[in-house]
Amino acid sequence: MLIKKYWMLLVPILVLVPHGVIAEQNSGGELEEIIVSAQFRDATLLKSTGSISVIQQHTLFDRGAQHLEETLNVLPNVNFSSGASRARFIQVRGVGDLEQFVDPKYFPSVGVTVDDVDMNGFAASVLTMDIRQIEVLRGPQGTRFGTNALAGMVNIRSNPPTGTPMFSARAGLGNKGGWNVAAVASGPLNDRLLGRLAVSQTRSDGYIRNDFLAGDDTNERDEFGLRAKLQWDGQNNNVTELTAYHVDIDNGYDAFSLDNNRHTLSDEPGRDRQKALSISARNHTEINAHLAIETILSWSDADTEYGYDEDWSNPDICDGLEFCYPYTNTDQGQRNRDNISIDTHLISKDDGSLSWVAGVYAQDRSEEFTRQYYGPFASEYETRRYAAYLQLDFDLSTNWRLTSGARYEYFEDDYSDTNGLLSRTDDRYITGELTLQHDLRDGSLLYATLSRGVKPGGVNTEASSVFGFMDPRFHDFMSGRLKFGSERLFNREIGIKGRYLDDTLSLRAALFHMDRNDAQLESWIWDDVNYLWVGYLDSVSSGSNYGAELELDVRLSDSVRLFAGLGWLNTNIDNMTVVDLGEPGQWTQSVITNIEDRDQTKAPRWQYNIGTNLNLGDRFSARIELEGRSDSFYGYYHNQEISGYALVNASIGYVTGAFTIRAWGRNLGNTDYAVHGLYFANDPRKSYVNEAYRQLGEPRVYGIDVRYDFR
């Protein structure tokens, strides 16, 4: 039924694709080969099934990107949510988390790994220092990552050590007080041992002017990263990689304005800090000519501090006003998370009609959280995961292959806090996929995939802790929402990938339909009697997400290359009961109501990225691109939207000897656009009526980077 439903949409794509013969690798005019490493076996992007996008290091340099959030806008149906100094959570195809205040969030809907280390919920620490590529896999990745990847996975790989000595240094200056420095050294340490060391420091005053404190650095960015890698090449193809990564982020957090602009009035601006150390080790050993074993160990320790001025104002806010009653408060929270995991699997050589992978996985995580908010609060949370998985690849004939994978996972957690809440849960999950692929004579790859993902359920800890203090009229509503069930996502997908026109055109297209059962949707309740703001996850019986992704890369000549990415998405929630805050500009009592046939949050109907790379002679190059998206909701307890936008980015570079000079700019039109939003009453000058507040994305930013490469 899916193929029939989408066939008329896929036909125009198939008709437009020229059926030529693919050129040999590295022939004149050929597009660059990209290797995807997130799956069990490395494979080229055009031979990897599923909707996958890859951002390479040259794109990061062209955009002047220093952080993950400055790159994701180029990808179809990929979004991010801020609510902090940097993006913490990612949405893929409309599925993903939005923010975090009190409740533990070990399992965001979209996973993030950096050199095999689980960074779920800590995407704010992902700097682009010495990154080789960023891989985004859409749809459940149930066999490989299990409950870590309900809607997709962002897999980030840094550059490996080199077999010959190299050194690279970079320095840059930008507007808004921005500057950055970075250095990389790599090479052999002895006959079998290679090493690589990378370090970076980025600073910026940020994009906010605090009028009360007369400063422009209350939303500053101060981000330091250090990465060390070792690679040991033993005998019989025994390879061991060891990576240590340290990040120290000390950013300001003064992002929301009562006037919905870049001028704040807060007297106690907050901080968004993170210190993290992670270590990962990967070993690949060939047992014999047909079998290998691979083991991945990872450990991380992350400390975060997140706080803000809750009233966004100061003691002078009501001066000269007759009816104005301010309040003042701050919200301060600290988290410490420890994580250790092991993943080991046997992998057969892909040299016959049947290849397979079989493995086991274990993970232990603990988190301590303390909060100062109208008094002290503390909680402890621990989770344990154990899994076994199997993937089989069958060659049904010369051009047909069937891939089947399944993963069984046992999950348990323990929670306790100073409000007396104790909780213990355990559950078992099965995830996996079934993919049929067909190689056409012209080299195109057609595939059809059925995949299943699961996200663990749990307890709404904040809601449970304060339930007894809520106004009685909310008790019936919240009593059924103190816990939320496991979400199950079933994805159907068909796609095509290939190279055409003598290997000068690369095309990737996918159509998908996802059913969400017991969808975990974030919402809020405002108890206007006891002045309680409480966030919670609601298990909504069903929702659907369907759409398409199209990515093109065209080399018109040795001097001109065009690229385009387009995402179309339609999402729906059949029925959801919420506590509605009412219309803007009013002070109304919270009302329990139903919403029907609503789009899901952070799910714009359209996203696009279109541009060109130009080689202007032997020394000059340039890039110009247009990126944008349509409107989207950002909450369920109101009907406010984040407006769509279009941004223009550009860069121009010059190479002389070992030096590369790059001038870049993002949002050159200085468009005001939002990356997150809130809806509530917070302005005493307006008698606390409900308003939509938006966290603005970066304005026009520009700079110049100089890089020196020695080999």
Tens digits of residue pLDDT in 390-435: 999 999 999 999 999 999 999 999 999 998 889 898 999 999 999 9
Whether 294 is covered by a domain: the verdict is yes
How many independent structural domains does the chain possess?
1
Cα–Cα distance for residue pair 127/67, rounded to 1 Å: 4
Who's near 8: CB < 8 A, 6+ residues apart? none
102 phi and psi, to 5 degrees? -115, -50
In the chain, % of residues over pLDDT 70: 95
Is pLDDT larger for residue 73 or for residue 432?
Answer: 432
If phi > 0 it is left, if psi is from -120 to 50 it is alpha, else beta; for residue 620 that is beta
Task: Please give the biggest Cα pair distance in the chain.
Answer: 84
Who's near 58: CB < 8 A, 6+ residues apart? none
Q: What is the mean pLDDT of the chain?
A: 91
When pLDDT is averaged across residues 324-350 and rounded to a whole number, the result is 93
Structure confidence at residue 6 (pLDDT): 35
Contact 127/150 with Cβ under 8 angstroms? no
What kind and span of H or E run contains 463? helix 461-466
Confidence class of residue 352 from pLDDT cuts 50, 70 and 90? confident
Nearest to 194 by CA among 172, 162, 220: 162
Contact 509/566 with Cβ under 8 angstroms? no
For β-strands 422-439 and 400-417, DSSP reports them as: antiparallel
When pLDDT is averaged across residues 39-56 and rounded to a whole number, the result is 92
Cα–Cα distance for residue pair 702/664, rounded to 1 Å: 6
Who's near 407: CB < 8 A, 6+ residues apart? 142, 143, 146, 387, 388, 389, 430, 431, 432
Who's near 320: CB < 8 A, 6+ residues apart? none
Asked if pLDDT for residue 16 goes beyond 50, the answer is: no
Asked if pLDDT for residue 324 goes beyond 70, the answer is: yes
Whether 336 is covered by a domain: the verdict is no
Structure confidence at residue 14 (pLDDT): 32
For the ranges 192-196, 581-585, 615-619, the one whose mean pLDDT is highest: 192-196
Who's near 204: CB < 8 A, 6+ residues apart? 174, 176, 177, 178, 179, 220, 221
Q: What is the CATH number of the domain that holds 495?
A: 2.40.170.20
Whether 142 is covered by a domain: the verdict is yes
When pLDDT is averaged across residues 112-133 and rounded to a whole number, the result is 89
Angle at 702 between CA 699 and CA 703, to 5 degrees: 150
Cα–Cα distance for residue pair 30/558, rounded to 1 Å: 10
Across 39-53, 185-199, 240-254, 386-400, least confident range:
39-53
Is pLDDT larger for residue 112 or for residue 100?
Answer: 112
Structure confidence at residue 31 (pLDDT): 55
Contact 79/87 with Cβ under 8 angstroms? no
Cα–Cα distance for residue pair 435/396, rounded to 1 Å: 12
Structure confidence at residue 17 (pLDDT): 35
Where do we find the tokens 């410490």? 336
Q: What is the pTM of this model?
A: 0.92
Confidence class of residue 541 from pLDDT cuts 50, 70 and 90? confident
Across 12-16, 185-189, 346-350, least confident range:
12-16
In the chain, % of residues over pLDDT 90: 76
Cα–Cα distance for residue pair 60/220, rounded to 1 Å: 21
When pLDDT is averaged across residues 632-651 and rounded to a whole number, the result is 94
Looking at residue 537, its amino acid is: L
Asked if pLDDT for residue 514 goes beyond 60, the answer is: yes
Task: Please count the other Cβ atoms lying within 10 Å of the Cβ belonging to residue 371.
Answer: 22
Whether 494 is covered by a domain: the verdict is yes
Confidence class of residue 269 from pLDDT cuts 50, 70 and 90? very high
SS3 content of the chain, % helix, strand, coil (to 5): 10, 60, 35
Asked if pLDDT for residue 695 goes beyond 80, the answer is: yes
294 phi and psi, to 5 degrees? -130, 135
When pLDDT is averaged across residues 637-662 and rounded to a whole number, the result is 95
Structure confidence at residue 582 (pLDDT): 82
Structure tokens at 234: 């033993």
Reported as a single tens digit per residue, the pLDDT across 467-490 is 988 999 899 999 989 999 999 999
When pLDDT is averaged across residues 317-336 and rounded to a whole number, the result is 92
Length of the chain: 711
Going from the C-alpha of 457 to that of each of 16, 204, 353, 383, 388, the distances in angstroms are 45, 39, 39, 12, 20
Whether 95 is covered by a domain: the verdict is yes
Structure confidence at residue 32 (pLDDT): 64
Structure confidence at residue 12 (pLDDT): 35
Cα–Cα distance for residue pair 697/323, rounded to 1 Å: 33
For residue 147, give its domain range: 2-329+342-710
Asked if pLDDT for residue 153 goes beyond 90, the answer is: yes
Residue 361 Cα to chain centre, angstroms: 23
Structure confidence at residue 528 (pLDDT): 84
- The secondary structure of 368-411, three-state, reads EEEEECCCEEEEEEEEEEEEEEEEEEEECCCCEEEEEEEEEEEE
Nearest to 67 by CA among 191, 266, 204: 204
Positive/negative CA dihedral, 416, 419, 420, 426: negative
Whether 335 is covered by a domain: the verdict is no
Structure confidence at residue 567 (pLDDT): 98
